[in-house]
Amino acid sequence: MHRLSRTVAGAGLSLGLTLLSPAFPAGTASAAPPTPTSMPGMTTAPGMTMAPGMAMAPGMTMAPGETMAPGMTMPPGMTMAPGETVSMPPGMSMPPGMTMAPDLGTASGSRPRGLVLGGFALVNGAILAVAAGLRRRPVTGRRLAS
Amino acid sequence: MTAPDVRPAPDDPDAVPRPVPDPSGPDLLRRRPVARLLRSRWYPGVFQVPVAAVFGLVAYVLLAGPETAHHNAGTALLWVVWWPLLPLAFLLAGRFWCAVCPFGAITDAVRKVVGLERPVPRFLKRYGIWLIDAQFLLITWADHVWGVVGSPWGSGVLLLLLTTGVVASGAFLQRRAFCRYLCFLGGLCSTYGRTGVLDLRADRAVCAGCTARAACYHGTATVDPCPLSTFPRTMDSSAHCSFCGNCVKSCPNDAIRLRLRPPTSQLWSVRTPRVEESFLAMAIMGIVLVQNVTMLGVWTDLLDLMARAGVTAPVGAFTIAFAVAVAVPVALLLAASAVAARRTVESVTANFARFGYALIPLDVAAHLAHNLFHLLSEGGHVTGTVAAVFGFPVESSAALAGAGTIRVLQYALLAAGAAGSVHTLRRLAGHRYRTAERRRATTAPYLVMIVLLAAVNAYLFTQPMTHRM
């Protein structure tokens, strides 16, 4: 069991260090800056701003005054917070003036995937290593007395 | 934290609450299939394995799959199917989700491999529920500010953070300490689970002669102890029971009873009402309100209003709206408790703690009704996105039901929740006070509050709402 715990902890630490290493090629989700993505059949309304990395559902139409999915309308000037996606069902529309912020992590053109996964593996590996180390510690006279 | 009482005169008929009768009704464990299932060594593992497999798929797709929620099967499975259906599971089976939750399985695995089995710190036992309250608020806030529900990556990071907490807890602490004292979902489960129809208790009469040294709590050589550190003999609800079956397997006296009870009945006679649990119920109501408001057109008007007042940053505006939305139900409950305290024998705090439980059925209903919209108007995405993960492009329609049908179901749920809250309120007042005047004086302000919150929710459901995917 101790060997297994050491192996698990060691694997976590190694994976974390590998993922965090600058040499790790997949440190970011996309190396090149993203370009706005638009799908066939999409039309945009005047005044609308599309942020980098934004993707829209195929067939999405954005014309002023159009109705959206089940009884929905969006008022002009609406702003979507970072992290909100712009994927909406076909037939949905957005009025002029609407601005959409980029999806979380795509603004800089990269998602710190390697950093996050590496940090996750490193932290969890460290937790397991500490616990495994403490578990292996022999019972001393003082601890027995207490 | 239990609430202090304003002590009435000893001869006052309402000096002490009425004694809580033990639940009655047929014991499901007398039915052979149920008993065999709960006593089986494969239970609850037989449910844990498929849930863990789906969880693994969800986590993988969230972190490595399509970057837009609209195309991500993880988002569809997590936020459009699982999250809306979860409160329904609470109604039917209380906290059973915790028995099959992958985080619980991870805790058990870590404990077996490296677990130090240290006792749970006292502060965690005492203040854990406040940490859950804070966590719930923080996650909802973070969802709006950084994107969690609408961002597959954000959802994936949330799962990683929770996993780290689970690993740390399993490595150092006893049993499923994270699930019991730190998991925000566990907090939701214990709050909503009280409305459930399944009720597990020990038969006190049998327990009185027990010589097994609480095997139901400590476990035996072959059966694990209660993962949520609950002693069946002292339970007054199934809020901290996941129906994992360990106590059923380990009790040598066959003292465990599993009963079907009317929905919400576990709220009617809470022995030790706790302020933090009532606060959580109110905070969840506020969260449901703010979730609704930010998906409506009126949200833009509010943002404009705040911009004119000088709050131009979206984060600042949302933080203010969020704080107000959470504070409103808490303040309403406080005000109702203050009014009730004037003509009764309990303090404002004691009233807050006890009668906050009456709002839980409305809470569950509002939560369900809100999520029903997402389930029925976006649930069709699941087929297409999951099929795409396995390389099968499938065209599917997003909506499973029309807007009219969804709205009718939302109102029906809300009406049932309001009725459940009113009934719970009456039972709670009836349990606490023998005198009719005090029962009326207590009931009236909370009744106004229930009607008000139900009306606000009903209004919000008339408004058009945005989708998650």
Spatial distance between the Cα atoms of A44 and A50, rounded to a whole number of angstroms: 9
Which residues are bridge partners to B259 per DSSP?
B27, B199
pLDDT for res A18: 63
pLDDT tens digits along B69-81:
878 888 888 988 8
Average pLDDT, chain B: 88
Q: Indicate the residue of B69, B164, B303 with minimum beta-carbon distance to A120.
A: B164
Q: Which residues 9-28 of chain A have a CB within 8 Å of chain B?
A: 9
The DSSP annotation for A64-110 comes to TT---GGG----TT-EEPTT------TT----TT-EEPPPTTTTTT-
Q: Indicate the residue of A53, A87, A120 with minimum beta-carbon distance to B469.
A: A87
pLDDT for res B25: 81
**Closest B-chain CA to A93:** B466
Enumerate the residues of chain A whose CB falls inside 8 A of the CB of residue B118.
none
**8 Å CB contact of A87 and B70:** yes
pLDDT for res A121: 93
**Could you report the predicted ipTM of this complex, rounded to two decimals?**
0.82
Q: CA B249 → CA A137, B36, B253, distances in Å?
A: 34, 10, 10
The whole-angstrom distance between A117's CA and the closest CA on chain B is: 8
Is any Cβ of chain B less than 8 angstroms from the Cβ of A79? yes
A43: left (phi over 0), alpha (psi -120 to 50) or beta: beta
Q: What is the pLDDT along chain A (146 residues), one digit of tens a residue?
A: 566 666 666 776 776 666 665 554 443 333 333 333 333 333 444 434 443 334 444 334 444 433 344 434 444 444 444 444 444 444 444 444 444 433 333 333 456 788 889 999 999 999 999 998 888 766 555 555 54
Enumerate the residues of chain A whose CB falls inside 8 A of the CB of residue B301.
75
The DSSP annotation for B397-466 comes to -S-SS-HHHHHHHHHHHHHHHHHHHHHHHHHHHHHH-SSHHHHHHHHHHHHHHHHHHHHHHHHHHHS---
The whole-angstrom distance between B330's CA and the closest CA on chain A is: 27
Q: How confident is the model at residue B449 (pLDDT cuts 50, 70, 90)?
A: very high
Q: How confident is the model at residue B256 (pLDDT cuts 50, 70, 90)?
A: very high
pLDDT tens digits along B195-244:
999 999 999 899 988 888 889 999 999 999 999 999 999 888 888 999 99
Quick check: B21 pLDDT over 80? no
Enumerate the residues of chain B whose CB falls inside 8 A of the CB of residue A29.
67
Enumerate the residues of chain B whose CB falls inside 8 A of the CB of residue A35.
none
The whole-angstrom distance between B273's CA and the closest CA on chain A is: 37
Q: Indicate the residue of A5, A69, A83 with minimum beta-carbon distance to B151.
A: A83
Is any Cβ of chain B less than 8 angstroms from the Cβ of A82? yes
Q: Tell if the pTM clears 0.80, that is, is over it.
A: no
Q: Indicate the residue of A8, A69, A81 with minimum beta-carbon distance to B377.
A: A69
**Which tokens go with B114?**
């490296």
**Closest B-chain CA to A67:** B464
